[in-house]
Amino acid sequence: MRLRVTTQKNTHYHLSTFPHFLTHITYYDLRTSTNAALSHDHHTTWLRNSYLEGTILAGNKHVRTIFSTMLSDCPIFITLNKSKTITMTNQLSEQFGPRDVMEYDVVIVGGGPAGLSAAIKIKQLAASTKQEISVCVLEKGGETGAHILSGAVLDPIAINELFPDWKELGAPLLTPVTEDRFLVLSEKKSYKTPEWLLPSCFQNHGNYIVSLANVVRWLSQQAENAGVEVFPGFAAAEILTNPDGSVKGVATGNMGINHDGTPGPSFQQGMELHAKYTLFAEGARGHLGKQLIATFALDAGRDPQTYGIGIKELWEIDPKKHQPGLVIHTAGWPLASDTYGGSFLYHLENNQVAVGFVLGLGYANPYLSPYEEFQRYKTHPAIRDFFEGAKRISYGARAIAAGGLQSLPKLTFPGGALIGCEAGFLNMSRIKGSHTAMKSGMLAAESIVTALSAGRSHDELTSYGEAVTGSWIHTELHKARNVKPWLAKGLYLGAAMVGIDQIVFKGKAPWTLHHTHADHECLRPAAEYQAIVYPKPDGKLTFDRLSSVFISNTNHAENQPIHLTLKNTSTPVSINLAIYAGPEARYCPAGVYEFIKTDDGADKLQINSQNCVHCKTCDIKDPTQNIVWVTPEGGGGPNYPNM
C-alpha cells in the first residue's frame, strides 16, 4: 500500500513530524522534477510543492488519524492496489461507503462564460464529426447565472465565433454602446478626457452592454439544447487523481453536514465525476484551481497573479435620465492617486444602470475599505444626479484576476486544463474578460475533441496552450500587458505612461513591466497610517453592508461547517488585528468578518459565513494567507438576478 501526500505550495512541512510507521519514503519535487529517498533523519528537510510516497506498515485508520491531525489543511490520498483513491480527510467516506461514480468524457467545473462555451464547442465539434462525446458542467450556484457578477460591456468577438446567428437565437445582447465618457474626478469636479486622447482600450463602439448573468443563462440553455448535462447546485469540492498523478475528475461536496462536521439528518454523500479530461472554469481565484496551480507548479516562472475587487449595484433610474448605450468610466476621487482603481457606470435596457467600482487588491493602507470607497464615489456631483429618485435593485461583489499575460500560469496538466478567469485571461486595461473566457474555453474544447478522436485520455492538452498563443487572446493581452503595471505606479505617472504605451507605441513598446508582489504582500502595518473616517450611509444613495447583502439574496444552508477556514485560529487577533487593525473587517464587502469582544474582554474574530457572496477577496488579501475559502454546500451563496 502506498501513501501520497500532496503538499501545498509555500507551506513547509518538517519531516521529523512524519510517523515512523511510514517507511521507504521518497519525495517527488514538482518544481525540479526530481525524486529523492528520505529518511526520518532528515529533520531539516523542508518539502515544498512536492509529494511524498511511502510504505505504510500500519492500518488505514491509524494513518488517517495521524495524518489528518498533522496536515489538516492538506489533501491526503491513499492509493489502494493502484486502483482506488480515498481522500483521507473525508472520514465520512468510510462510514457511508464508496461514493457514487458517474463517468463522462469531459467534466467542466463552473458554469460561467468559459465553462459553458467550452461545453457548447465540444458538442458542436462532436456533431460535425459525428462523435458521441458526453459532457457535464457543475455549477455551485442554485441556477446558472446565480453567481455571475460582471459589468458588463461585452465584446462580441467570441460569441460571434461560437454562434454566428446569436441574434436569431435570441441572445440577450440588447443594448449596443452608443457613447463613451472617461472622466477624471477630483472631489468636486470632473474632467472629460477628449476622445482623441482615449486609448482604444477605453473605446467601446461595437460592444454591447449586457447582464452577463443573463447571457450565461442563455448559454446554459444553448448547452442543454446541444446535449450537455448542466448540474446547477453542485459544487466541485475535491480534485480526484489517478495513481499516476493525472487528474481523473472531481467530487462534489457532501450535503447536510452539521456545523461540527458530523453528518446531519439530511446527509447526502458527494458524488465522484470521472472524466477523460476535466476543465476547470471556476472564475477568478478558483478554489480547486488554486490547488492545481500549486500541485502542478503551473505558476513557476510567471509573475504572481494580481487581483481587483469589483463591487456592483444595479439601479432602476428615472427614464428622463436614462441614456441606453452610455458607458462612463472614471479614475481619481475618492481614491488617493497611489491607489489603483476606478468606476464603471453602464446604461442598459429597461431604465437600468449598472454602477460599480473596481479597486486593485495590491493596496497598502489596511484602513482602506473598498466598499466604503464605492459608496463615497456615488456621491460625486458628476455621478449622484443619475440616482436621484432611483431605486437600487441588486448588489454584489466578485474578485477580478488582473495580472494579464505576465501572470498567466501554464494552462495544462495531465488530465485537464484551466480556462477563463481561472487561468487569468481578463484584459484589465478594458476590464473585460468574458470574451477571452469564452474563447479560451472554445480553444480548450478543440484540443479535447482532437485528443478524444485520437483515443487519448488523461494526458496533457498541449495543443490548447499553443492555440492560445496563436490566437487573438494572446495578441490582445500582449498589447495590454503594461497598462496595469503602469497604473499601479500611481494615477498621474501611470496615465502618462499608458498614453505613451498605448497611443504612441500601440501596445508594442519594447519593454514589459512585471508584477513583483502578490496582493497580500502589499498590505502595510496600520501604524504607518491614520484611520479613514467614512461618511455614514444615508439609506438612499449610500448604504450599509448588511442592507446591501440583503438584496444580493445570499443564503447558505444553516448549520453547515464554516467555509471560510482558518489555518491558524489565533492569527486573526495576534497578527491581523494587532498589526493591520483587522483589515478583513473592511475589505470583505459583505460584513462577514467582525472583531468582537468576548465576555472576558478579549478580542475575537466572528465569521458570519452565511453572508458570504463568494467574491474570494479574503482568500486573496489576507496578509498571512491564513484564510482559505472552500466551497460551501452547493446552491449556497448569492442569488443574483441579472448582474
Ligand X SMILES: Cc1cc2nc3c(=O)[nH]c(=O)nc-3n(C[C@H](O)[C@H](O)[C@H](O)COP(=O)(O)OP(=O)(O)OC[C@H]3O[C@@H](n4cnc5c(N)ncnc54)[C@H](O)[C@@H]3O)c2cc1C
Q: Which residues bind ligand X (CB under 6 A)?
A: 109-115, 138-141, 147-154, 212, 235-236, 281-283, 286-288, 310, 312, 356, 358, 398, 400, 420-422, 426, 431-435, 437, 631
Minimum CB separation of residue 344 from ligand X in Å reads 7
588 binds ligand SF4 per the rule CB under 6 A: yes
CA separation for the pair 344, 428 (Å, rounded): 13
Closest separation in Å from C-beta 17 to ligand X: 30
Pull the grid cell for residue 434: 468574458
Number of neighbouring beta carbons within 10 Å of residue 72? 11
Closest listed residue to residue 111, CA positions, set 136, 150, 138, 142: 138
DSSP tag of 222 = H
- Which listed option, ligand X, ligand SF4, none, makes contact with residue 411 (CB within 5 to 8 Å by class)? none
Residue 298 binds: one of ligand SF4, ligand X, none (C-beta under 5 to 8 A by kind): none
- What are the grid coordinates assigned to 561, written together? 461547517
Report how far residue 352's alpha carbon sits from residue 375's, in angstroms, rounded to the nearest whole number: 18
Q: Is 177 in the site for ligand SF4 (CB under 6 A)?
A: no
Query: Looking at beta carbons only, is 283 or 589 nearer to ligand SF4?
Result: 589
Between residues 390 and 613, which has the closer beta carbon with respect to ligand X? 613
Residue 616 contacts ligand SF4 per CB under 6 A: yes
Q: Which residues partner with 239 through β-bridges?
A: 250
Residue 356 interacts with, from ligand X, ligand SF4, none (CB under 5-8 Å by kind): ligand X
Q: Which residues contact 311 (CB under 8 A, 6 or more apart)?
A: 356, 357, 358, 359, 370, 371, 374, 396, 397, 589
Using CB under 6 A, pick the residue from 497, 615, 634, 643 that binds ligand SF4. Answer: 615
Residue closer to ligand SF4 by CB (options 297, 309) is 309
Q: Are 193 and 100 in contact (CB under 8 A)?
A: no
Cβ distance to ligand X smaller for residue 141 or 415: 141
Of the pair 77, 344, the CB lying nearest ligand X is at 344
Contact region with ligand SF4 (CB under 6 A), list: 122-130, 178-186, 265-273, 613-621: 613-621
- What are the grid coordinates assigned to 449, written together? 475533441
The site partner of 468 among ligand X, ligand SF4, none (C-beta below 5 to 8 Å per kind) is none
Min CB(556)–ligand SF4 separation in Å: 10
- In the complex with ligand X, which residue's Cβ is closer, 113 or 485? 113
Question: Which of 59-67, 213-221, 400-408, 583-591 is the region at the interface with ligand SF4 (rule: CB under 6 A)?
Answer: 583-591
Q: Point out which span in 22-30, 248-256, 501-509, 615-623 binds ligand SF4 (CB under 6 A).
A: 615-623
Residue bearing cell 518544481: 31
Query: Least separation, in Å, of the C-beta of 546 and ligand SF4?
Result: 12
Q: State the alpha helices, DSSP H only, in 386-538.
A: 434-453, 462-469, 472-480, 483-487, 491-499
User: Which residues ranging from 540 to 569 are in contact with ligand SF4 (CB under 6 A)?
Assistant: 564
Which residues neighbour 366 within 8 Å (Cβ) at sequence distance 6 or greater?
A: 523, 524, 525, 526, 529, 580, 581, 583, 586
- Residue from 407, 617, 631, 639 binding ligand SF4 (CB under 6 A): 617
Residue 288 binds which one of ligand X, ligand SF4, none, with CB within 5 to 8 A depending on kind?
ligand X
Phi, psi for 85 (deg, rounded to 5)? -110, 130
**Which residues are CB-contacts of 600 (< 8 A; sequence separation ≥ 6)?**
none
Grid cell 456631483 is found at: 381
Q: Tell me whether residue 145 or residue 636 sits nearer to ligand SF4 (CB atom).
A: 636
Smallest distance from ligand SF4 to CB 617, Å: 4
Region for 569 from its dihedrals, namely left if φ exceeds 0, alpha if ψ lies in -120 to 50, beta otherwise: alpha
> Rounded to the nearest whole angstrom, what is the least distance from the CB of residue 30 to ligand X in the complex?
22
In the bound complex, what is the minimum distance in angstroms from residue 640's beta carbon to ligand X? 10
Q: Which is nearer to ligand X, 549 or 577 (CB)?
A: 549
Report if residue 418 touches ligand SF4, rule: CB under 6 A: no
Q: Which of 273, 278, 345, 293 is nearest to 119 (CA)?
A: 278
Q: Quote helix, strand, coil % in the chain, to nearest 5.
A: 30, 25, 45
Choose between 282 and 519: whose C-beta lies nearer to ligand X.
282
Q: Does 431 bind ligand SF4 (CB under 6 A)?
A: no
Please state, in angstroms and as integers, the Cα–Cα distance from residue 165 to each residue in 112, 162, 170, 372, following that order: 21, 9, 9, 43
Q: Interface with ligand SF4 includes 523 (CB under 6 A)?
A: no
Shortest spacing between CB 18 and ligand SF4, in angstroms:
33
- According to the binding rule CB under 6 A, does residue 612 interact with ligand SF4? yes
Closest CA to 283 of 132, 425, 435: 425
Q: DSSP class of residue 237? A: E
CA–CA gap between residue 82 and residue 30 (Å, rounded): 21
Q: Is 82 left (phi over 0), alpha (psi -120 to 50) or beta?
A: left
* Residue corresponding to grid cell 494526458: 459
Whole-angstrom distance, CA of residue 601 vs CA of residue 562:
24
Q: Considering the complex, state which of residue 3 and residue 399 has its C-beta at the smaller distance from ligand X.
A: 399
Interaction residues for ligand SF4, span 591-610 (CB under 6 A):
592
Residue 613 binds: one of ligand SF4, ligand X, none (C-beta under 5 to 8 A by kind): ligand SF4
C-alpha cell at 109: 467545473
Yes or no: say if 507 and 480 are a contact pair by the CB < 8 Å rule. yes
Name which of 154 and 627 has its Cβ closer to ligand SF4: 627
CB of 549 to ligand SF4, least distance (A): 8
Closest distance to ligand SF4 from the beta carbon of 370 (Å): 10
Regarding 590 and contact with ligand SF4 (CB under 6 A), the answer is yes
* C-beta of 35 vs 475, nearer to ligand X: 475
Tell me if 629 contacts ligand SF4 by CB under 6 A: yes
Contact residues for 69 (Cβ-Cβ < 8 A; gap 6+): none
**Which residues form the interface with ligand SF4 (CB under 6 A)?**
564, 588-590, 592, 612-618, 629
